[in-house]
Amino acid sequence: MTNWTEERIQLALTSHAKTKFYARRWTCVPNVTDWGMPTVVQKNREIDLMCVSGSRWVHAVEIKLSRADLKADTKKRWRLFNDVSQVRFEWFAVPIDLADDALALAPPAAGVIAVSTVTRTYQPWGKPQIDVTEWLNEILREPTQNHDARKLNDAEFLLLLRLGVMRMWSKRKAVAA
């Protein structure tokens, strides 16, 4: 069993060609707040993973690590569709063992993605066998499209790219320290 963290789920959603938000096809930035994207994220909120398609539609991913975390969201006045017109689709991403809870507790308009791992044995030609762990995504429910959403404009998209680069340099600084 994988010890899931928010960061691991972000990686599981973006790190492989078979994943929903593969980072070579999407612009994905973790932990986007109203400070970083004030025209996209409502005040005092954070999007755990903001993914923007090539056509600049915003997908907001809420990452939940426990049933209590899922239940706490049901007490909030629901959410991005009502307040921010740039979010076209909203998703909940959970470890596979929370899949049933997520389907029951996530808002009906939100999509649900379950993440898991699988270990495969791989033998490169002429070399010893190695075990490789892959992250898997399973879309359990597609989200409802917010028809009032609009695409990010050039200024908003550049702001998101800038925020993503700032996150990358902060991580590098932390690793180097």
pLDDT per residue as tens digits for the range 20-30: 899 889 999 99
Residue 42 inside a domain? The answer is yes
Q: Is the pLDDT score of 84 beyond 60?
A: no
Residue 110 inside a domain? The answer is yes
Tens of pLDDT, residues 101-143: 999 999 899 999 999 988 888 887 888 888 888 888 999 999 9
Residue 101 inside a domain? The answer is yes
**Sheet containing 87-95, strands listed edge to edge, beginning at the edge strand earlier in sequence:** 27-33, 46-52, 58-63, 87-95, 111-122, 130-141
Q: Return all residues near 134 (Cβ < 8 A) that are at least 6 apart.
A: 16, 117, 118, 119, 120
Residue 22 inside a domain? The answer is yes
Question: DSSP H helical segments within the chain, as ranges?
Answer: 6-14, 67-74, 80-83, 99-105, 154-176
Residue 1 inside a domain? The answer is no
pLDDT of residue 36: 66
What is the total residue count of the chain? 177
96 pLDDT band (50/70/90 cuts)? very high
- Tell which residue, 167, 172, 158, has the closest CA to residue 46: 167
pLDDT of residue 64: 95
The answer to whether 123 and 129 have CB atoms below 8 angstroms apart is: yes
pTM for the model stands at: 0.85
Cα(40)–Cα(52) distance, rounded to whole angstroms?
12
Q: Is the pLDDT score of 65 beyond 90?
A: yes
Residue 177 inside a domain? The answer is no
99 pLDDT band (50/70/90 cuts)? very high
Amino acid, res. 68? A
With vertex at residue 86, the alpha carbon angle to CA 81 and CA 89, rounded to the nearest 5 degrees, is: 55
The domain tally of the chain equals 1
Structure tokens at 115: 């993440």
Residue 167's domain comprises 6-172
pLDDT of residue 79: 54
